[in-house]
Amino acid sequence: MNILLVDDDRDLRGMVMTLLARDRFEAREAETAADMRRQLTEHTPDLILLDVRLPDADGFELLKEIRQESAIPVIMLTGVDTPVDRVLGLEFGADDYICKPFEPRELVARIKTVLRRSNPREEVGSDQESVTLHFAGYVLDLTHRQLMREDGEDIELTSGEFDLLRALAEAPNRPLTRDRLLDLTRSREWSPFDRSVDVLIGRIRKKLEPDPTRPTLIKTVRTVGYILASKVERRGARQSSSSAAPGMTA
């Protein structure tokens, strides 16, 4: 696995590069946004560690730029852990974030978690039958962590978006609270006021709903949370097909 570290702090880069080498990651480093762009034209990393504040660019704008081109997993490195930074990172497509200074082993654990979610083919044989969830014209492949339309068109999801959609699709027509969704989708600690679920729901709606402002598939249940209002059929290895009850109205 190859990591691209983008940060203007030379000491931090040295520490992180040493840490990644010890864990047998291949790693490259970039000090500026211009250097990052150049490296991305030459090599596609498996994951990017991206500083929020760079001398020649804003990290969030760079994240938007990356997301316009690819779904490469991105972990944001933030100097101040604020709700604003967390929300912006999620809105623009970050897979996770970590606040400086961080414990080295925590960073490695976060990297491995995001890579595991984003590269399931490394953990399953290519000949293994996919387990899929079918709903409302979409196919959610749980084995290979992909979302497709029934006509085969791929829909790119970040690891956070995939995990949240999976949680909803595995409990169709049942309202799930924000707390429950956070428990199901995130391994890190969270705050009761964390808006990450709402941000991710908004992003998923933009990709799935004909009119995201009037959602018909992923509905809000007032004072509760969210619900996937659709019949879901599960297909695949060692699974019998099953259908959920008709949808609820939010």
CATH for 2-118, among 3.40.50.2300, 3.40.50.300, 3.30.43.10, 3.30.110.40?
Answer: 3.40.50.2300
Question: Residue 50: its pLDDT value, please?
Answer: 96
User: Token digits for 170?
Assistant: 């595995």
Choose among 35, 114, 110, 39: nearest CA to 72. 114
Return per-residue pLDDT of the chain as tens, 250 residues: 899 999 999 999 999 999 999 999 999 999 999 999 999 999 999 999 999 999 999 999 999 999 888 889 999 998 876 777 777 787 788 888 888 888 888 999 989 988 887 765 554 444 567 899 999 999 999 988 889 999 889 998 888 889 899 999 999 999 999 888 888 876 444 554 467 788 889 999 999 999 999 999 999 999 899 999 999 999 986 544 344 444 433 3
Cα–Cα nearest to 111, from 25, 30, 192, 233: 25
Which sign does the torsion angle of CA 80, 86, 88, 89 carry? positive
Token pair belonging to 195: 């808006």
- CATH 1.10.10.10 domain locations along the chain: 132-235
Contact 205/227 with Cβ under 8 angstroms?
no
98, 107 Cβ separation under 8 angstroms: yes
Cα separation, 46 vs 206, whole angstroms: 25
Enumerate the CATH 3.40.50.2300 domain ranges in the chain, comma separated: 2-118
Note the CATH number of domain 132-235. 1.10.10.10
